[in-house]
Amino acid sequence: MDTNMILILGVTASGKGTLAFELAERIGAEIISVDSMKVYRRMDIGTAKPSREAQRQVRYHLINVVEPSEFFSVAVFLELAESAIEQIKAKNKPVIAVGGTAMYLKALLFGLFEGPGTDKQLRSQLKQRIKEEGSGQLHKQLAQLDPVAAERIDPNDSRRIIRALEVCELTGRPISSLQTQFTQARPQHNWKIIGIRRERPDAAYRINLRVKKMMEQGLVDEVKALLAEEKPLSQQASCAIGYAEIIEHLNGKCSLDEAFELIKKNTRKFAKAQRTWFRSFKNVSWLDVTPDEPAEKILERAIVLLEQAGC
């Protein structure tokens, strides 16, 4: 039995990272980041990575592991995460995993989703349609075929839209129905799962505040520096919320103020999709947090939940 396996989840800007850090300091744990964008080096401001000081105080895994030009998949994540778990266990330290990337969280809990293979010709056709019609049009098609998946997938996430449509075409079934194996499978580790949950107005306020802080910290300059690198950004990196909108601005397609508002809007939409995903997660001990609740009190409440679970 794994008695020191703690997973903290929540929507973006919910405060899960702060809780993970403070809990890790309290119990001497190391942290595994479950975030599809924090894996990229030099993408710091827009991904809200823990500060350098925080990373000096607590050991983090799966942050800054690949170049922004490189492709990174859930399979690679899972391999690295399992390796990190073994390393931490070998030190007899507790493991804290924290993040909000739903597919990575599902993989960490239940392993990889065994979907159908790919069809190069079909995928090529879908990619061409994305170029000609835009991802929004294909997202509308997906909403008709698989409304559950469409609710989870951002209209700008062309990679996942293509995959969902490909699965529908190859199997005749929506990808969301095939992914039910996640909720039926037995967890690979004895995780104690804590969820940070806030009322939507508070969550939206925190998102807007975070985006404002990112702009003040120099997000535009960070994106400029990334675009100036010898190797171009991967599709994944360039589509990340915060980066995609600033790239649009730098390409003259919108003003900086418009990009700023788009980042806030798209982040709120992402948080909505995360909430939908998290409803399918079982055995989560939810912490309902109020807007003015101090981090110290949230930490103490989390510790009580863990003690009740025998951690």
Q: Residues 264-306: pLDDT tens digits?
A: 999 999 999 999 889 888 889 999 999 999 999 999 999 998 8
pLDDT in tens, 196-238: 999 999 999 999 999 999 999 999 999 999 999 999 999 889 9
Tokens read off for 103: 């597919």
Question: What is the Cα 214 distance to its own chain's centre?
Answer: 17
Q: Which of 30, 84, 32, 39 is nearest to 57 (CA)?
A: 30
- Domains in the chain: ranges and CATH: 5-113+181-308 (3.40.50.300), 120-178 (1.10.20.140)
Tokens read off for 87: 């390393």
pTM metric for this prediction? 0.80
One-letter amino acid identity for 67? E
Q: Which of 177, 226, 191, 231 is nearest to 94 (CA)?
A: 191
Tokens read off for 54: 């925080």
Please answer whether residues 58 and 31 qualify as being in contact, where contact means their C-beta atoms are separated by less than 8 angstroms: yes
Please answer whether residues 221 and 27 qualify as being in contact, where contact means their C-beta atoms are separated by less than 8 angstroms: no
pLDDT beyond 50 at 151 = yes
4-13, 50-59, 112-121: range with lowest mean pLDDT: 112-121
- For the chain, state the CA radius of gyration: 19
* Pairing of β 284-289 and β 60-61: unpaired
pLDDT beyond 50 at 182 = no
- What does the alpha-carbon distance between residue 77 and residue 132 come to, in Å, rounded to a whole number? 32
Average pLDDT rounded to a whole number, residues 116-131 = 85
pLDDT beyond 80 at 185 = no
- What does the alpha-carbon distance between residue 287 and residue 281 come to, in Å, rounded to a whole number? 15
pLDDT beyond 50 at 184 = no
- What does the alpha-carbon distance between residue 281 and residue 293 come to, in Å, rounded to a whole number? 25
pLDDT beyond 90 at 311 = no
Please answer whether residues 46 and 238 qualify as being in contact, where contact means their C-beta atoms are separated by less than 8 angstroms: no
**Band of the pLDDT at 189, cuts 50, 70, 90?**
confident
SS (H, E, C) the chain: CCCCEEEEEECCCCCHHHHHHHHHHHHCCEEEEECCCCCECCCCCCCCCCCHHHHHHCCEECCCCECCCCCCCHHHHHHHHHHHHHHHHHCCCCEEEEECCHHHHHHHHHCCCCCCCCCHHHHHHHHHHHHHHCHHHHHHHHHHHCHHHHHHCCCCCHHHHHHHHHHHHHHCCCHHHHCCHHHHCCCCCCCEEEEEEECHHHHHHHHHHHHHHHHHHCHHHHHHHHHCCCCCCCHHHHCCCCHHHHHHHHCCCCCHHHHHHHHHHHHHHHHHHHHHHHCCCCCEEEEEECCCCCHHHHHHHHHHHHHHCCC
User: How much is the pLDDT for 114?
Assistant: 58
* Pairing of β 95-99 and β 60-61: unpaired
pLDDT beyond 80 at 178 = no
Average pLDDT rounded to a whole number, residues 46-58 = 97
